[in-house]
Amino acid sequence: MAIALAVLEAAFMFAALFTLLLRPAAEALALTVACAIAFYYCDLYDLRVARSLRDCAPRFVRALGLVIVAVAVGDLVLRIDTRDATALVTGLLIATALLLIGRACCYGMLRRRPYAQTVLIVGGGRLAAALVQEIASRPHLRWAVALVTETAPPAGRPPFRYPVLGALPQLARAVERARPQRIIVALDERGRTEAMPALLEARGRGILVEDGVDVYERITGKLAIEVLSAASLVFAKGFRVARGHAAIGRFMSLAAAAVALIVLAPLMALIALAVKLDSRGPVFFRQERIGRHGRRFWLVKFRTMRPVTAEVSAWVRDNADRITRVGRLLRKFRLDELPQFLNVLRGDMNLVGPRPHPVVNYELFTREIPYYALRAAVRPGVTGWAQVRYGYANNLEEETEKMRYDLYYVKHLSIWLDLRILVDTVGVVLTGLGSMSADARPGLTDTLPRGNEPRHATTEDAA
């Protein structure tokens, strides 16, 4: 849905600019690409964020402002001919207004759901609850949902926001009543055995039957690790690093790190001077972290906190008062991570991969987070899927949530996923807003025991 919307809006923008401005097709195409990039980084294609016209309007204005600034900078630096600036801005405003009208029609259609697909979720446990929450946050899926739970729902307040058609023994009757196009199975092994005859009958009638774990993974971009069995991971098709991807990823990482260190050397020198002038202590912060196959290495960052002699907490939330003025700015735009290109050249890290965790937290995470060891199958990265989708973690529960994204990355490792992460990272760095999904983190509610967090560690952060 989001991709189709992006393509349609780009085509409409090109047609509108070409027609309204009467400019060459190449210039209209360049403006269309600039608008599409601005829309992407303003989250206008993420329908979980831009869920209504009220959410869209300020984002469209912000994106339009970015495009106008880009055109102005192009005029100053590249001497692009923008003598008809008034007509250009007018054309962009008219095209944006028409896009807003189109979005309003789109949201109206989503609310009415004229082509909604009927979906029956079979199960009433944790995975079913997580699926309900995720589907509800994605109205663009156009799924009309009903449930069949293991047992009859209690009288009074319904346990789910969608109707419950009955208990598992009445599954065949519920399928006949709802006539779903899709059935999502969120049951344990015992429940699957009981439901199998009705599910086989539904499959024979042409109804799509899917595993709830696979659906959750597909629509969220993360793994439901608490409900996964060890066997399902052992025999999964993913979780293997192809030699071709490893070679290409390593070459890209080395090339990017070498170029970045050369190009960004003046900026890094200014940052080093600012860190030194802002507070006492070393310019760089070194910390022992866990790399591929559990190998330890020393990670290098710009120091963002005031050094202390006593042992301190490992979580960022407990060290907010130690962050320096320069450090706060560096963290916002992730500039404190720049020295890690040295780690990339040394072979400790790649450009993209799961973030390396401090050694001090390794035993805790191995003990408390399911399947934690699987993330060590690949080199850690300067940026990663969890970083662009979630952001910083401040406790064990949030580290577990990031682990779901990390395992998704390891399972679906590909050059295209790496490129997507790099594109999203550019947005995080340029806007300084962190992950676009960090404010809304729907998903499984973590039930790992609290109170086992590390109390002491000589570390700046656990990112």
pTM: 0.81
Beta bridge partners, 298, equal 288
184-240 residue pLDDT tens: 999 988 899 999 999 999 999 999 999 999 999 999 999 998 888 888 787 777 777
Could you tell me how far CA 352 lies from the centroid of its own chain?
14
Do the Cβ atoms of 267 and 339 come closer than 8 Å?
A: no
Class of 117-220 in CATH? alpha beta
Q: Where in the chain is the domain with CATH 3.40.50.720?
A: 117-220
Three-state secondary structure of 423-449: HHHHHHHHHCCCCCCCCCCCCCCCCCC
Tokens at 398, concatenated: 């949030």
Please state the length of the chain: 463
Assess contact for 195 and 122: CB atoms under 8 A.
yes
Query: What is the distance between the alpha carbons of residues 186 and 130, in angstroms, rounded to a whole number?
Result: 10
Of 386, 447, 392, nearest to 417 by C-alpha is 386
Alpha-carbon gap, residue 436 to 430, rounded angstroms = 13
Low-confidence ranges of the chain (pLDDT < 70): 1-2, 21-23, 74-85, 113-115, 155-158, 309-320, 432-463
- CA 137, distance to chain mean position in Å, is 15
Predicted local confidence at residue 442, as pLDDT: 38
